[in-house]
Chain A
Amino acid sequence: MALRKIQQKEIKSIVPGPVAGIVSLFVPGLGQVLAGSFQRGFLLLGSLGGSAGLFIWRVHLLAHREINLMAKFLKAFDRRPFFVGLIIACILLLWLWNAWDACRQTKPEKKSGPAIFIIIVVIFFSLGWQISEINPYKMFKELPDAIPPLSRVLWPWEAAVEREKEIIGAGAEILVGCGEGELPPIPEEVPGQPYIMSDPRCGDLSSLDENNQIIRGTTLKLTGRGFAPNTKTQIWWIDSLGNEFRPRQEGQYVEFMTDVKGSFEFDLIMPYRLIPPSAKGPQYQRVEAKQISSIGKLIVGDPLRLTLARMAETIFMGMMASFFGIIFAIPVSFLASRNLMSHSWITMLIYYITRTILNIIRAIEPLIWALIAVVWVGLGPFAGIIALTFHSVAALGKLYSEAIESIDPGPIEAIQATGATRLQTIMYAVVPQMIPPFVSFSIYRWDINVRMSTIIGLVGGGGIGFLLVQYIRLLDYRAAGIAVWFIAITVAILDYVSAEIRQRFV
């Protein structure tokens, strides 16, 4: 309707057709403007100018090493013939059409062709495709590599439970530097227990010479008995301060299999370890052989346990933020309701200020509020709650105030007419009208807040998101998968529950 009216309000062309056409060849859209079609002219100038500008930018990126423009175009065409060719053709077409259209606009019966919009859409679509680096080919090509981690995310439950680890091991003392003190005793062998013995029981640690070349330490002949047969066995070294570490030999952690009887023999080069200068007296260190086997009872794995804990944290974050949001939003919404604030200019001023502040707060995403809150109160769920509360107050304040503005004055009038007091009028005419939108908006907000709190951890705001990014960064896709699953489950349940509650109330 409105559009048609504008077109009917004919503005006479001030130039003849051919002139308008030629003018538009030089400045796109100008011919149309001269012919009285202002909107059309500016639209054409905008789309032609915009698309040409964006196109030149892309061509520059494709061929940034070339200096002169022509060479750039040729290079770009060489690299992306379809894209460059299509855009050039479309822009040329649009340009010529623009000249012809200017000529046409000078005639009284002004026509608008929808076809040209297709050309404009094609130009911007191709530019958009190029600028946002859309690449479906890559999606297919990299799919095989992505399947293992993705499948771990999709079905992560192997990491949900694990077996308790059982460690069996035995150790022997070694004196560093033979003759520095008394030899440590030969460990006593207890039947049925693993046992390890070293020969000799003293020796020199590996060390570095001036050229940082390693000087091998003494080779210890380790003999073990009473271990689990055919089982991977690790060697650990414990220095005199009690620090444990796994020595390497030829770049590998020292590790071997026991034989069928559960015995082994192994030659261990004493590892590189600095003796602290403050150390006094003979230095006794220790070598240990350990077998770690997962044969204990099934227990909840760390990822599942942490996920459950974080999920609880997440839900409560969302709940607390909604709670605070509702409490603060109620008074704010009164200040932001036009019908309550319209009786004087002071209240109107408060109304406008409140509205403006709410709009600004709402325009900033909760994730950004979370970044700010993290600076304020540090990492953790409290920062997330602050961020979500801010956003909730703004969003709910607006929704509540709109609900207040849209209450039906009829019942208020009717209740007043019965001789009711002001308070009775509020209880009987206002509150029943306010409850459904308040409940509905509050539940909706709780729903949003829990959803938001699942990702607010990405920026350090606590909750499950925090765990999820950590797992992803550690490439622990199974654990990440568990977190993702729980987010999905929670959100689905929440969706259902909030829909149910809202249906009951509204």
Chain B
Amino acid sequence: MLEIKHLVKIYEDGTQALNDINFKVDAGEFLVIIGLSGSGKSTLLRCINRLIEPTEGKIIWDGVDITSLDQNRLRQTRRQIGMIFQHFNLVKRSNVLTNVLSGRLGYVNPMKTLFYQFPSKDRQMAIDALKRVGILDQAYKRADELSGGQQQRVGVARALMQQPRMILADEPVASLDPVLAHNILGYLEKMNQEEGITVLCSLHYLDLVQRYASRVIGLRDGKIVYRGSKEDIVAMTDDQFREIYGEEAIRVSAGFQDKGKG
């Protein structure tokens, strides 16, 4: 479904963030990307929907190279790929419903939406999405009045609105506490298992990786240094994890780990 070939990203200041990245993702996978801060995870995820323009390489999506698309076709591709961010990236001053509705922007008539008007079936869909993530009662609050966990659920709902075939999640739980981390990843897992949405997700904690990943790639200095199946990961010790991940690697906490696994 998605194939990354020889992907290279060199920033304008000369930083080589990605160096010859190759991997394949099958439909329905929950692929977790691990790596130290600065290893290129965000850059990689953003290259896939070209929020960042790759310097070299191909990104094959359904047999078409995303890097060669024009603006129009790019937008049509982007709307099939939901994205969730570490800092939620909500429009803070807009209300929750508007934030969720903005997930439909790729589908609706651009002129109508300029005045914040959406078709009623999209509004219904937004309400359903909010119900699904359990924050329907917050629909008319300003986004920045919500707690971190609630904001990320708005982020998930916004991605859901795209009716995506794939979700890119850039450290979606790094700014949340452990209980909320499981809550958010639980939604992603549910979408992955029940609707077959492919998930590409970067994560920080070994226990979360073990709990949710169906496959793992490890990045270091813009290169893939580790590829592992679910079994490899579950068998992995903290020391091995630390080798890829460096000293930052920690489990969320022993107490929550059991809860997560159960």
**A residues with CB within 8 A of B:** 408, 410-411, 413-421, 423-424, 427-429, 432-433, 435-436
Contacts and interface: CB of A to CB of B under 8 A. Distances in A.
Interface in B155-206: 155, 158, 161-162, 168
A417 B90 contact: no
A432 B93 contact: yes
A482 to B, nearest CB: 44
B114 A432 contact: no
Centre residue among A418, A420, A427 by max chain B CB count within 10 A: A418
Contact of A411 (B49, B77, B91, B106): B91
A486 to B, nearest CB: 38
Nearest to A414: B89
B113 A424 contact: yes
Nearest to B51: A413
A436 B116 CA distance: 18
A433 B162 CA distance: 23
A415 B94 contact: no
Interface stretch (B22-30, B80-88, B228-236, B249-257): B80-88
Interface in B54-84: 75-83
A280 B103 CA distance: 98
Nearest to A434: B93
B110 interface: yes
B104 to A, nearest CB: 8
22 contacts: A410-B89, A411-B89, A413-B51, A413-B89, A415-B91, A416-B51, A418-B78, A418-B102, A418-B106, A418-B162, A419-B78, A419-B106, A423-B114, A424-B110, A424-B113, A427-B114, A428-B94, A428-B98, A432-B93, A432-B94, A433-B91, A436-B93
Centre residue among B81, B83, B91, B94 by max chain A CB count within 10 A: B91
Contact of B90 (A411, A419, A420): A411
B91 A428 contact: yes
Contacts of A433: 91-93
Contact of A420 (B46, B85, B88, B105): B105
Contact of A415 (B80, B82, B105): B105
Interface residues of B, number: 37
B90 A414 contact: yes
B199 to A, nearest CB: 15
A415 B79 contact: no
Nearest to A424: B105
A411 B89 CA distance: 5
A52 to B, nearest CB: 53
Given A418-B103, A419-B76, A420-B102, A427 B89 contact: no
Contact of A427 (B90, B113, B158, B161): B113
Contacts of B91: 411, 414-415, 428-429, 432-433
Nearest to B79: A419
Nearest to A422: B71
A414 B88 CA distance: 9
Given A414-B83, A427-B113, A420 B106 contact: yes
B114 A424 contact: yes
Contacts, number: 88
Contacts of B76: 419
Centre residue among A411, A419, A424, A428 by max chain B CB count within 10 A: A419
B73 to A, nearest CB: 10
B63 to A, nearest CB: 20
Contacts of A416: 51, 78
Nearest to A435: B93
B246 to A, nearest CB: 26
A408 B46 CA distance: 17
Given A410-B85, A411-B89, A411-B90, A418 B79 contact: yes
B78 A417 contact: yes
Contacts of A429: 91
Contacts of A427: 113-114, 116
Nearest to A415: B102
A416 B79 CA distance: 9
B83 A417 contact: yes
Nearest to B104: A418
A432 B91 CA distance: 7
A413 B91 CA distance: 11
Nearest to B80: A419
**Shortest beta-carbon contacts, A-B, top 8:** A419-B106, A419-B79, A410-B89, A414-B89, A420-B105, A419-B78, A417-B83, A419-B75
A421 B75 contact: yes
Contacts of B114: 423-424, 427
Given A428-B105, A433-B91, A418 B158 contact: yes
A285 to B, nearest CB: 80
Given A418-B78, A418-B106, A421-B110, A413 B85 contact: yes
Centre residue among B51, B93, B162 by max chain A CB count within 10 A: B93
Interface in B134-162: 155, 158, 161-162
A78 B178 CA distance: 81
Contact of B158 (A414, A432, A436): A414
Nearest to B106: A419
Nearest to A421: B110
A435 B94 CA distance: 11
B85 to A, nearest CB: 6
Contacts of B89: 408, 410-411, 413-414
Contacts of B75: 419-421
A243 to B, nearest CB: 71
B141 to A, nearest CB: 15
B93 A418 contact: no
A416 B51 CA distance: 7
Given A408-B89, A418-B104, A419-B105, 14 more contacts: A410-B85, A413-B51, A414-B85, A416-B78, A418-B103, A418-B158, A419-B78, A419-B79, A419-B107, A421-B110, A424-B105, A424-B114, A432-B91, A432-B92
Contact of B110 (A410, A417, A423, A435): A423
Contacts of B155: 414
A335 B88 CA distance: 30
Contacts of B93: 432-433, 435-436
Centre residue among A411, A414, A417, A427 by max chain B CB count within 10 A: A417
A436 B155 CA distance: 23
